[in-house]
């Protein structure tokens, strides 16, 4: 049978390679057509590794609308729904249609430089910091309303599903992924006689626009982080952030898995 393609993406860990061999054999035995060369005609993409692998798979597949599911091989694996010793149950559930598809919202940034603009998209978060571990000063607007002049390491805007990542380490709130919001979280905000910055996160409607405008002396020395990857733009004047219209699709096998996951991975 030529159809029923399933994409397999993985990191290079020994455990992931071992798991993928086993998985591919089992899928073939059940009449599926697993492929490690990404096919746009696949009905499912399985990624084997940790959250980092999941995030990179989403970016590499250019936010493909093919549903994704992750098999965790060793790391935290908050996005990774299946543990590597439960492959048989997973294949049973998948082939019997015992799953639902969850949409995960993405964060979009329009980055304005002197001469042009660029679009960046993230699954966890987009952050603005100064290069070389300096302080950054920036003005922050929400729908054109001035919120604050921020001073500190930087700020981060997290999606609901990214709220358990870097945002959480910064004492941001955990936000359920069914909520269409983004969270603006300060990174080491300064509060002194010289500078005042909000020291807690703000949860903002997803269709509002957060504008970050670095002060002039940072326009050639600010650093953007998209899901942990660094981007530099010279002449960076402004960044507008909002939840993207795009989302990705992830399989879930139980409506309660979010709460089980939270408890088992963070407590």
Residue 196 exposure: Cα atoms within 13 Å on the Cβ side: 3
Task: Compute the distance between CA of residue 10 and CA of residue 49 in angstroms, rounded to an integer.
Answer: 6
The answer to whether 85 and 78 have CB atoms below 8 angstroms apart is no
Residue 164: contacted member of Mn ion, ligand NAP, none (CB under 5 to 8 Å, by partner type): ligand NAP
Contact indicator for 244, 121 with CB cutoff of 8 Å: yes
Tokens at 41, concatenated: 């005609």
Interface with ligand NAP includes 124 (CB under 6 A)?
yes
Binding mask 49-68 for Mn ion (x = CB under 5 A): -x-x----------------
Q: Which is nearer to ligand NAP, 16 or 45 (CB)?
A: 16
Q: Which residues pair with 248 in a beta bridge?
A: 104
Min separation Cβ 52 and Mn ion, Å = 3
Burial status of residue 195 (CB atoms within 10 A of its CB: 0-12, 13-18, 19 or more): middle
Tell me whether residue 51 is one of the annotated catalytic residues: yes
Of 51, 88, 153, 256, which residue is the catalytic one?
51
Residues 43-62 that bind ligand NAP (CB under 6 A): 50-52, 55
Decide: is 183 part of the binding site for ligand NAP (CB under 6 A). no
Measured from the CB of residue 74, what is the shortest distance to ligand NAP in angstroms?
8
Distance (Å, whole) CA 26 – CA 87: 9
From Mn ion, ligand NAP, none, which one binds at residue 247 (CB under 5 to 8 Å depending on kind)?
A: none
Segment contacting Mn ion (CB under 5 A): 15-23, 43-51, 173-181, 184-192? 43-51
CB atoms within 10 A of CB 198: 16
| Stretch in the footprint of ligand NAP (CB under 6 A) among 94-102, 165-173, 206-214, 241-249 | 165-173
**Do 82 and 71 form a contact (C-beta atoms < 8 A)?**
yes
Q: Do residues 170 and 199 touch, judged by C-beta distance below 8 A?
A: no
What is the contact surface with ligand NAP in residues (CB under 6 A)? 50-52, 55, 75-78, 124-125, 161-162, 164-166, 169, 227-228
What is the contact surface with Mn ion in residues (CB under 5 A)? 50, 52
Residues that are catalytic: 51
């Amino acid at each position: 049978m030529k159809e029923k393609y399933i994409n397999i993406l993985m990191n290079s860990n020994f455990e992931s390679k071992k798991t993928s061999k086993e998985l591919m054999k089992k899928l073939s035995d059940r009449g599926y057509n697993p492929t490690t060369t990404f096919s746009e005609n696949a009905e499912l993409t399985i990624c084997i590794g940790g959250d980092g692998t999941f995030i990179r798979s989403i970016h590499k597949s250019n936010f493909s609308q093919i549903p994704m599911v992750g098999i965790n091989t060793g790391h935290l694996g908050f996005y990774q729904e299946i543990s590597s010793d439960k492959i048989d149950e997973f294949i049973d559930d998948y082939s019997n249609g015992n799953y639902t598809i969850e949409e995960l919202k993405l964060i979009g940034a329009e980055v304005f430089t002197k001469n042009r603009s660029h679009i960046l998209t993230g699954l966890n978060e987009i952050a603005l910091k100064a290069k070389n571990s300096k302080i950054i000063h920036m003005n922050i607007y929400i729908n054109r309303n001035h919120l604050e002049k921020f001073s500190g390491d930087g700020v981060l805007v997290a999606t609901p599903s990214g709220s358990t990542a870097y945002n959480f380490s910064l004492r941001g709130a955990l936000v359920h992924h069914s909520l269409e919001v983004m969270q603006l979280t300060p990174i080491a905000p300064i509060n002194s006689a010289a500078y005042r910055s909000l020291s807690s996160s703000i949860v903002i409607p997803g269709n509002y626009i957060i504008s970050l405008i670095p002060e002039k002396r940072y326009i050639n020395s600010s650093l953007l982080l998209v899901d942990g990857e660094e981007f530099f733009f010279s002449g960076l004047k402004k960044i507008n952030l909002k939840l993207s219209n795009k989302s990705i699709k992830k399989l879930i096998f139980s409506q309660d898995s979010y709460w089980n996951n939270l408890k088992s991975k963070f407590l």
